[in-house]
Copies of this chain bind each other. A is one copy, B any other.
């Protein structure tokens, strides 16, 4: 059930003392081959952390031998010193496992704007290499947690090969990735030119469609490593399908563990002119604080749904809009529908459906409610 489920991978998670809590905070995943194919997608935030700048370069040739990850500090907005620290981390990892530093991906997560305590981190690197184990997936998944309440892992089993994944992320979830670090492994034999398009296709309809709080991180990374150790060759379609299943499982876990959330909300936009317009509308609703507060209060305030829709450029006639909440059509043709008192929002899952009557496209965005616990966690994070 982890990144070490596919053959050809070892992993570890150790405590370097980066977190005040004393929990584990350095993770390492090594691809022992025979293949060392890699691809990644990164945050689209224009202010990217040093490890993102580094790792873009590492994977640009399609090869990576390992990924070293730390929680307890994002190493973002840390200038030249921050980049030098990332470089040293990659070198220390590479030296210890006998590969090139240019084939070691680095990921960091935690507070922005502070330098990492390099003595502790480098000692953690050393110990993580010593701890590498073919059963080390869960230890690695645990060491990348920040405000996550539990490690997040997924496995997709296919005939003779598999995909494994781990993820961290519990806030700052927004499209074009969220503060999430994701490492996916597979032992399939793949054409290296298939790996990046397959990963993009998978993330586009999974991680890119969760939007917990509209905030976009400086550090987001989704990395896939392919070892070929199963000896089973798969084509791009099979690979894309398995990666999508794995990403969907992890994305769902991220929403389910978003900071302080009481509800997981799916927002399905139907009969849009295009998928782009459906996504625009879905995101506008997902980012509307008044709507999110209403769901927290178990209040089927559909007016706030449409007030959000009205701020978009999507094609629709206000007099044709329909809204359902948990199956009850609370708005019909832009006016009052069934009695909102009939909507039961007491469960964890909330389904909002909006029909635009402008075309044939549809899309679903996943988000969370806005709660006291969200405010608490995010006002207390760095203090």
Contacts and interface: CB of A to CB of B under 8 A. Distances in A.
Given A47-B309, A290-B213, A307-B215, A336 B113 contact: yes
A130 interface: no
A375 interface: yes
Interface in A277-322: 287-290, 293-294, 296-299, 301-304, 306-312, 318-319, 321
Interface in A209-235: 213-218
Contacts of A299: 379-383
Given A45-B311, A46-B318, A303-B113, A296 B379 contact: yes
Nearest to A376: B372
B381 A370 contact: no
A104 to B, nearest CB: 24
Contact of A307 (B45, B78, B81, B309): B45
Given A311-B46, A375-B293, A382-B294, A74 B303 contact: yes
Interface in A328-383: 330-331, 333-336, 340, 370-372, 374-383
Interface string A131-169: 000000000000000000000000000000000000000
- Residue among A74, A287, A303 with most chain B CB within 10 A: A303
Contacts of A79: 319, 333-336
A299 B383 CA distance: 7
B294 A381 contact: yes
Nearest to A295: B379
Contacts of A171: 290
Do most interface residues of chain A lie in helix, strand or loop, or is the interface mixed? loop
Given A112-B306, A218-B307, A297 B78 contact: no
Contact of A47 (B45, B81, B310, B370): B310
A316 to B, nearest CB: 8
Nearest to A332: B79
A68 B323 CA distance: 31
A288 B172 CA distance: 10
A171 B301 CA distance: 15
A299 B371 CA distance: 19
A78 B318 CA distance: 11
Contacts of A312: 46
B215 A374 contact: no
Contacts of A287: 214
A294 B379 contact: yes
Nearest to A115: B336
Interface of A: 45-48, 74, 76-82, 111-115, 171-172, 213-218, 287-290, 293-294, 296-299, 301-304, 306-312, 318-319, 321, 330-331, 333-336, 340, 370-372, 374-383
7 contacts: A76-B307, A78-B336, A111-B303, A112-B304, A213-B290, A214-B287, A293-B375
Task: Report the 8 A-B pairs with minimum CB-CB distance, sorted nearest first.
Answer: A112-B303, A297-B379, A79-B335, A47-B310, A293-B378, A45-B310, A113-B303, A46-B310
Given A47-B307, A78-B335, A299-B381, 11 more contacts: A45-B311, A77-B331, A80-B335, A112-B306, A217-B307, A289-B289, A294-B378, A294-B379, A294-B382, A296-B375, A301-B382
